[in-house]
Structure 1
Amino acid sequence: MNITFRQIRVFVEVARQGSVARAAEALHLTAPAVSLQIKEVESQVGQVLFDRAGRRMGLTTAGEYFLVYAKRLLATLKDAEDAMARFTRLESGRLTIGMVSAATYFLPLLLAKFRAEYPAVDVRLRLGSRDQLGVMMQANEVDLCIMGRAPRDLPTRAEPFAMHPHVLVVSPQHRFARAEAVPVAALASEPFIVREPESGTREALQGFFDSHHIQPTYVMEMPSNEAIKQAVMAGMGISILSLHTIALEWANELIAAPAAEGLPLVRRWNVVNTAAKHLSPAAEAFRYFVLEHGEAHLASMFGGEFGLGARAG
């Protein structure tokens, strides 16, 4: 097969986006150019790789198999590019960073500061759960990740750079909002709105209850911190969330974070990469930047050791 790496990148992006138009936007190409590349790949492979349903592009069985090998080829090419860059120590090129959803509240501003120092680096972001980011790291689809606890069953280097407090959050109209301190036993009878079981926030919450021998009442599971915040503000239940996800609502008194026994749960933010990966100069520059500036950046955004002020009580 006479397929170029450019065509492979186009194929992988269309598979990821499920749309020619969105893939074209991500790749800074025109939609006809992307369609032409896909037709060329299918011609070279000798198989139909996508099912076309209107504007949606779904992989065929052959396409699913080909995607596995396409990702392997791109991962190998990325390793080669990183190895060559280390010879010249060029802090340029593409840097792909994975992040969990809670990091979206501070990482873009930190990246803006990084780009000001390293304007030649083309930064891309990938969002996912801890397990999803583990798969991306293993496939060499991301260089580094910003997350709490590193993925299970994957040898990684995880370096902490800042504290990551989790606090009790309630509606401003909830009786806890006016309490000086909420005893942990009082939480047992409250309806909790929680993240999905595989999330780090849910894991921390369950660990907190287990340590206090409390059987909580989970009334709703939601896939995002934003959804949980809206439900809490509407008075549908209470939750324990990362302090870094509620700053805007808390500052505007749309949500309350009362002091509670045993809280905040203090986890750590980590910059993570697979143990076997040799980082490119751009990735190393970002790693050092986060380790040096990450804690001060979070403190400037959220204030204090934990960001807990007078309204916490």
Structure 2
Amino acid sequence: YETIGGMRAVAWTDALQGVMLAVGLTGLLLAASPTPDNLAAVTTWIAREAPEKVSVPGWDVCRNWFSTLALIGLSGAVYPHAIQRIYAARDSTALRRSFSVMVFLPMVTTGSVFLIGILAIEQLAGTGPIEADQVLPLLLTEWSARSPVLYALSLVVIVAIVSAIMSTADSVLLSLSSILAKDVLGTTVLRGADEARLTHVGKMVSWVLVAGLVGIALNPRVTLWGLTELKMEILAQVAPLFILGVSWDRLTTPAAMAGLVTGTTVYAGLLASGNSQLWNLHAGVVAMMVNVGVCIAVSKIGAPPPSRLEPLHG
């Protein structure tokens, strides 16, 4: 549907997949039924059986949490497909209305998953050590065996999860193929090509990317959260370009490029050496701080940007 319909098809399918996700999360909460009494009982059980999970975390854990907040907050703000959604809005009124709703949606989605995770601590206590992304499948398996209604709700949740993944993947694929076709090939190999030619090349690039990604997906070596961290840490190296570029008028193009290259190199080096975290900070956050430092240093060392011309009088 992306090859045939382009941005309009992606926007419509994302809307439909979002509705499915909302239905799936509602079913998930109905299956879990986390009433205040249930949550209080679970909290009491956790405090008795695993007190370290409800105790005040140490500075090392807090530092890692702050690192995660910075990583997701800054990287999520510069998602290419999130910026691309601006151009899919019908008008500025529709865009403002959408953003006013979207700002609260993470509280609903992540809040639901958080409650499910709390309930899972007690329900899956006897299964031994498990990965974080195995919790929900295990819970759905347990709930689906209780009644036909919960079985149907579990199916809805699975479809909703797949839809959520697709709604992100198709947008990223559209953005990436557009960048490669217009900003890379369109300025080098296909310089001077018309819009139809670039669009056709973009579609072909999409198929090549999908073929390569399918091969990687069939041999997974990291967890879903590991892939999320990898994506966010790479995007974190782009965040300084947007934030400094908008808020600091002294940022120069050479400084932005130097910061981007340096931050990406530092992150790749830390990842290759097995240091995914330094002092409980994500490697991507450490590299982003280096990125910002290089941007500021190179901008201050370089020549100041030309001042604006004053209007002539007289």
TM-score range, shorter chain: under 0.3
Higher helix fraction: Structure 1 or Structure 2?
2
Query: Which protein shows a greater Rg?
Result: 2
Higher relative contact order, structure no. (Cα contacts within 8 Å, ≥ 6 residues apart): 2
Greater strand percent: which structure? 1
TM-score (norm 2): 0.22
